[in-house]
Amino acid sequence: MSVKYCHKCITTDILTRLEEIFRDLLTKWDSRLVEFGGESDHVHLLVETCPTVAPANLIKNMKSVSSRRIRAEYAEHLKPYFWKPYFWSRSYCCISVGGRANIETLLTTIHSEPR
């Protein structure tokens, strides 16, 4: 997920808080955060969820809840970057795999790709 207008405003503290928020939210969706990382303008999540969860609904919920919480908790830090009540851009990338791929294979593939 990318920050709206590509602002480089995610600090280490915000990144840590985002991970906590996502872990908590995913538990409520009967899912789990396998791996999390990010930079100053975007985050990456590797999520394990059941096939009955619609990815678009899950991502929409994660973006809206995390945006509200981060904007409330870090209002002063984010004030210079945003003049409207946004945090995330509308775009995202979601790649799914079937039941044959295990987590170890996915992590090996993710970490071996050039960035």
pLDDT digits (tens, 9 = 90+) for 11-33: 999 999 999 999 999 999 999 99
Residue 32 CB neighbours (<10 A): 12
Q: For the chain, which domains are there?
A: 4-112 (3.30.70.1290)
Please tell me the predicted confidence (pLDDT) of residue 111: 66
The pTM of this model reads 0.83
How much is the pLDDT for 6? 75
Question: Other C-beta atoms within 10 Å of 62: how many?
Answer: 23
**Per-residue confidence (pLDDT) for residue 113, from 0 to 100:** 55
Residue 99's SS3 state is: coil
- Residues 43, 10: contact at Cβ < 8 Å? yes
